[in-house]
Structure 1
């Protein structure tokens, strides 16, 4: 059984001694440092040019990955604080002996929520598929025989969550341990604490995808051991149950994308306003202040009121579900997303169904995802030909120019591992913003200077 004292570890990569909560400086608390390091990182800033729903949309009120992440962190902080308050009441020694506070839980969940999309490629899930299919169906298949089964799987099922763990933890020259976040935050960040194979060994929510590449296997194992996560992987396969606070990070994301993507669809004119308000009212009908609602004169004010009420309603319910199942979660016996246990399941399904039909499958989204798909495939082919040329391509002057055009990948010219070179190319391509992807594509195509 996992225990909270271990799960709330303040340890960071490179630490030789344990960091004790009661010795922390309250004005510069370790978990809050995590939040600061993420928000000031270049990887986080790049999310401002990665759109949340409509790729490449320049509409002012549509969410980017950055604004979405900030909102998820706010919801995550509330979830963490509310849950933390009750956990400390149930386990008072955490406060009296070890010095943990309610806000610690909020800070961990907020930081992990802030980073939850940091590894996502441009063009969202379409970008992940573009990278994966380059290796499974495209010219990247030529590398299959040079890789282990798990290394190849990392590429053909390229995963933004695993790339996020890479960004947060990877040592670079002069930067040991990446952002050097606390292990508690890294644990809460990892929704899928397993490697890419075996694929979906169980129907458990934590086995749905994977959370780290083979490059970071040892790093994750160190984090998991320090946190006391329960190991689930058998034989040589590495897998663990989730850090309990990862359930709250997931809930924060689920709440935000369900309600706020829906709101974006309304603002874009993809969903009829009156029709949409009806669906939100169904979700919050038990908590709505009818008198206050009727005083709101315009649709945007009514929408904002219903959105806030819906988010608060779902936060309260998620915390209640988490606390009811705390013991099972600590024992590694709880295997569902908190959202899947919602009493508002019917209303949520209705909202998601409309979002899929009117937003995610709208002509604008599909057309721009197609363009993004082609651009990312082209860039991957350009980079792999330059860094891993075939014998016929070795003397290509174009490839030599490409090598000089990507300073962030210069170190790969001395690298001998094909897997590491390919992973660095994929991670670099995933780091590009929507705008930089278009600019790079046009430059290599000779369409712009």
Structure 2
């Protein structure tokens, strides 16, 4: 893969070539990507979606929105540092094509900002709940209506693929969704393959999937423009990752590892003295012990160690990337950047403690249980109504139910697959509070607060 192709400014629907050296410096194309994402309703809805710990009425914890913004900030730093080194190594990118190190930062920042835009309510349990409905719930009855890949899209419903759909899906009057640059779409797609075959190798790019069958042609166009290496041909297409997607992934890994841990400490799920030992092990080479000793409050101690930890891991991720740039460009680098870090053991210790104390806490578990019940009920009602409309057998109740779904999810109900995927994407779009509200309407009663 070549950087001058990977940094493409092309957008869906373009008829003319966009050249970096002709860009208006006060409003670069990659910076426009960031603006379009942050002003989108899909991004705005992340303010009421659980990151890990359910939204608290008394303590500040991270939502998907604050998490995404923090990942974007870390991603910008990663991109700028790597971009500076790449331009030093490949000066023609600046001298001939006009690229600057800030371009790399802008691409990674925009892709990182959008990285959770397709995630359902209730955290990752929302994804699992949608998949479980089609794999072992009432939705299993729809299997015979779908091709194997279409069915797999639903049984393994993937927030990353839904995110790509949100960013790129065309509808009447809206060509190409948010019309982001192909460089940003490439960096966004951590798993450049369809839902089948499932985990065909241990390569990090095969861990999940990045586009539904409904967006395969769109992604193929993006991959062709970026000249991504095609790793499978025929019916089961897949590609090597866009190199900058490794930085988007690293930014996410850094933030959820350190900041979820911080939330757990602040909420008392992890004892401060015990937890700080883990962070100190990670930053022992850079900590100023005198300064640390002068900090009197828990908040100040945690903030200081968090900043050092993030800075340490940013340095590690950029080191690993630049040392392995050639393998990454050849599609031969097969792990996340942090998995090659000198601090992998310390990071894994923090994640292990977070799983035990935070992700399996009573508060999180109860939220996930409620999420399964709510998502399953909504899918059951909406899928039946959508398929009856498709078959021309819509009842008055179906009409009332479907009136709750915005038109943009209903416009393409021309096959059973598009009906079921459209309903699933609608449910995935709902905030924690909104999904509970609709559940209450359908059941004619009330459940616990959002």
Q: TM-score range by the shorter chain?
A: over 0.9
Matched, 1:84 2:83: yes
Residue 243 of structure 1 corresponds to 242
Q: Secondary structure at 2:230's aligned position in 1?
A: coil
In the TM superposition, residue 298 of structure 1 has moved relative to its aligned partner by 1.0
* C-alpha contact (below 8 Å) 2:59/2:267 kept by paired residues: no
Q: Secondary structure at 1:179's aligned position in 2?
A: coil
Write the distance in 1 (CA, Å) between the matches of 2:254 and 2:359: 17
Q: How does 1:358-377 map to 2 (within 5 A)?
A: 358-377=357-376
C-alpha change, 1:339 and 1:415, in structure 2 (3 Å) is same
* C-alpha contact (below 8 Å) 2:409/2:423 kept by paired residues: no
Q: How does 1:291-306 map to 2 (within 5 A)?
A: 291-306=290-305
* C-alpha contact (below 8 Å) 1:56/1:368 kept by paired residues: no
Residue 41 of structure 2 corresponds to 42
Residue 155 of structure 1 corresponds to 154
Write the distance in 2 (CA, Å) between the matches of 1:119 and 1:410: 14
Matched, 1:115 2:114: yes
Write the distance in 1 (CA, Å) between the matches of 2:289 and 2:163: 43
Q: How does 1:29-178 map to 2 (within 5 A)?
A: 29-178=28-177
Write the distance in 1 (CA, Å) between the matches of 2:80 and 2:306: 21
Q: Secondary structure at 1:37's aligned position in 2?
A: helix
5+ residue gaps in structure 2? none
Matched, 1:194 2:197: no
Q: How many residues are matched?
A: 447
**Deviation digits for residues 138-191 of structure 1, max 9, x if unmatched?**
111121111111011000000000000000000022110000000000000000
**Deviation digits for residues 334-355 of structure 1, max 9, x if unmatched?**
1110011111111111111110
Q: Secondary structure at 1:116's aligned position in 2?
A: coil
Residue 415 of structure 2 corresponds to 417
Write the distance in 1 (CA, Å) between the matches of 2:45 and 2:323: 38
Residue 13 of structure 1 corresponds to 12
**Deviation digits for residues 115-148 of structure 1, max 9, x if unmatched?**
0000000011110011011111111112111111
**Deviation digits for residues 405-427 of structure 1, max 9, x if unmatched?**
32436745x73311111111111
Write the distance in 2 (CA, Å) between the matches of 1:410 and 1:251: 32
TM-score, normalised to structure 1, is 0.97
Write the distance in 2 (CA, Å) between the matches of 1:408 and 1:43: 15
In the TM superposition, residue 59 of structure 1 has moved relative to its aligned partner by 4.0
> Which of 237-246 and 227-236 deviates more?
227-236
Write the distance in 2 (CA, Å) between the matches of 1:184 and 1:200: 25
TM-score, normalised to structure 2, is 0.97
Write the distance in 2 (CA, Å) between the matches of 1:392 and 1:93: 58
Residue 427 of structure 1 corresponds to 425
Q: Secondary structure at 1:327's aligned position in 2?
A: helix
In the TM superposition, residue 278 of structure 1 has moved relative to its aligned partner by 1.1
C-alpha change, 1:221 and 1:59, in structure 2 (3 Å) is farther
Write the distance in 1 (CA, Å) between the matches of 2:409 and 2:27: 37
C-alpha change, 1:425 and 1:390, in structure 2 (3 Å) is closer
**Deviation digits for residues 386-417 of structure 1, max 9, x if unmatched?**
111399994644323212232436745x7331
C-alpha change, 1:4 and 1:409, in structure 2 (3 Å) is closer
Write the distance in 2 (CA, Å) between the matches of 1:392 and 1:421: 11
In the TM superposition, residue 51 of structure 1 has moved relative to its aligned partner by 1.6
Aligned-CA RMSD value: 1.7
